[in-house]
Amino acid sequence: MNFYFPDSQDQIDPNFDFVSESHLVHRIRQRDDLYVHEALGTPPFDGILLSLSIVSGVAKNAKYSQASRNRLRREGIRNFFRIQNLTPRVATLGDCGAFGYSKLDNPPFTVRQVLDFNESCKIDTGLAPDHIPFGYFESDEVQKTVDLTELKRRLKISLTNAEKFVSIHNDEKYTFQPGAVAHGWTPKTYHDSFNTLQTMGYKFIAVGGLVPLKTRQIIKILERISSTKRQDVKLHLLGISRVDAMNDFENLGVTSLDSTSPFFQAFKDGTNNYHLGGTSYSAIRIPQVHGNTKLRLAITSGKIDQKSTETLEKVCLNELRKFDAEKSSIEAVLAAIRDYDEVTGVLGNKYERIRKLLEETPWKFCMCAICRRLSVEVVIFRGSERNKSRGFHNLFNLRKDMISKKLISPNWQDQDTSK
């Protein structure tokens, strides 16, 4: 099973100074910062997924400037992400990013625009423009009591676009492989949608709209789809990782999936920020006095004193670094964090989970290039450089989990060959 990492233009600065919290003066982000495969020294993925909604600016998390968009089309996806020399070859997948425009009545892209986007970016496989029909019912009987007009309209848009997409693709001899997205609101409607796309001639079909569903619901959908899936058709799950269910997914014919969850959990999850093996740990929240909006407002309003708060902040960081060097204790670290938390009121640390992290020191046992370079800094919830680095580590851990489940070859490199 192949794992695709969806791009959101997240990179880290290998020269960032974590003590002074500063970048080099002449740093140029695109030139000097590293993508995850560069930071780890080996790609923790088999492919990169590129969404048109992110590149075009439709999605909220779009980070592409006009210059970046132009360079992407000019250089192609492989040169843009600097994966052209990686072995084995990294696959590339293009989709429209339907979640990014799900509130619109119709997709903001025409079939022609999507065809040209995939072709100009030199993407391996491009998916037809789709529209998510939000709603899911456990059985066909339940749906009879609900107005399905909007769901049916959206599904029709997806299938009509898919039909035009493959027709124009074949007639005009586009060079990338065409793919399409199956949608539905019951196992049967997903199955029917998938079969319709098979009949159109698609050999790469993704299943969309699964992110809000429970794993058991996804498995029911896949059971229906797998009953008639042809062997030559590749089946992809959009936006899904769910390590515990990967073996089930593979047994039901899934050949690839993608997800940003391991990366974003590093700084968007309330407790599960750092992953190692089958265990998740809470990162230690030490917000920057000058980088946290709530702290700045509290200082400006006179609710807390800036100088004393800065002192407590430094004590927290120093105690953690001393602890990492075996020159301080867990109790001293926890006391410093509590003191800072009492003054600021914004940390949100779960002290028992922090104690577990400090007792087990997982960062000392991880062999990824991130943990070996940053040590304790990787488990500090503070600023984008640390947080994104921790996200990169989580992707490394996902790769290791996939190896342990025999979903990919154990020959995957895990030694540090990074810059």
Q: Which residues are catalytic?
A: 95, 258
Q: How many CB atoms lie within 10 A of CB 347?
A: 19
Is the omega angle on the peptide bond into residue 212 within 30 degrees of 0, that is, cis? no
**CA 235, CA 229: separation in Å to the nearest integer?**
9
Which residues are CB-contacts of 208 (< 8 A; sequence separation ≥ 6)?
98, 130, 132, 181, 182, 183, 238, 239
CA-closest candidate to residue 94, choices 53, 46, 64, 58: 53
Which residues are CB-contacts of 58 (< 8 A; sequence separation ≥ 6)?
52, 97, 100, 101, 108
Question: In this structure, are residues 123 and 93 in contact, taking their beta carbons and an 8 Å threshold?
Answer: yes
Q: Which residue has the tokens 């779009």?
A: 62
**CA 125, CA 117: separation in Å to the nearest integer?**
11
Q: Which residue has the tokens 């698609």?
A: 202
- CA distances in angstroms from 248 to 241, 255, 376, 395, listed in the order given: 12, 12, 36, 21
